């Protein structure tokens, strides 16, 4: 496993302490992303990087105002624009830290979409780094299957029917 794992775990805890509502989200995303990587038969080193990227994917939310981060309902357009900055902020925070640099592109691009309608750069298809594509799926799955103030939990069975 990546030798600086304890530091990665600490940073993930700091993010989740700030937003208790999504406590456990980063660990679940990391776990789901690793399961995807395993099913793709990626090697142990890649799986480790993906796991740690999952733990840190939302680190940029440290800079998101609490009024937006903890808002119980849907965000308006202006608030959503601020929220979307978390991936770029997270990347800026870790990109120059030697032991975290390998995680940077996954953190930066975990909200890109295969159709090019994601953020922050509107990448599409295989322009999106593989680790970021894996995190995007894991993050979306966790978001849909976790309770949110603005909607109820969607079960796996409900997702399979849609």
Q: Which CATH superfamily is domain 5-161 in?
A: Hypothetical protein af1432 (1.10.3210.10)
Question: Which pLDDT belongs to residue 86?
Answer: 96
Q: What is the dihedral angle through the alpha carbons of 102, 108, 111, 112, rounded to the nearest 10 degrees?
A: -90
Q: Is the separation of the CB atoms in 14 and 62 below 8 Å?
A: yes
pTM assigned to the model: 0.89
On the question of pLDDT at 120 being above 80, the answer is: yes
Domain boundaries defined on the chain: 5-161
On the question of pLDDT at 150 being above 70, the answer is: no
pLDDT interval class at 108 (50, 70, 90): very high
On the question of pLDDT at 7 being above 70, the answer is: yes
Distance, CA of 39 to CA of 60 (rounded, Å) = 29
Q: What is the arithmetic mean of pLDDT over 32-43?
A: 98
């Amino acid at each position: 496993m990546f030798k600086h794992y304890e530091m990665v775990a600490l940073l993930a805890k700091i993010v989740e302490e700030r937003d208790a509502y999504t406590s456990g989200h980063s660990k679940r995303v990391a776990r789901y992303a690793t399961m995807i990587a395993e099913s793709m038969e990626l090697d142990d080193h890649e799986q480790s990087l993906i796991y740690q990227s999952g733990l840190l994917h939302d680190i940029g939310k440290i800079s998101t105002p609490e009024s937006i981060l903890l808002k119980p309902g849907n965000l308006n357009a202006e608030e959503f624009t601020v929220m979307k900055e978390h991936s770029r902020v997270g990347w800026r925070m870790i990109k120059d830290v030697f032991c975290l640099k390998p995680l940077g592109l996954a953190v930066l691009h975990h909200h890109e979409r295969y159709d090019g309608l994601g953020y922050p750069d509107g990448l599409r298809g295989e322009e999106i780094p593989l680790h970021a594509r894996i995190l995007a799926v894991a993050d979306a799955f966790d978001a849909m299957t976790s309770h949110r103030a603005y909607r109820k939990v969607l079960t796996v069975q409900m997702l399979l029917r849609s």
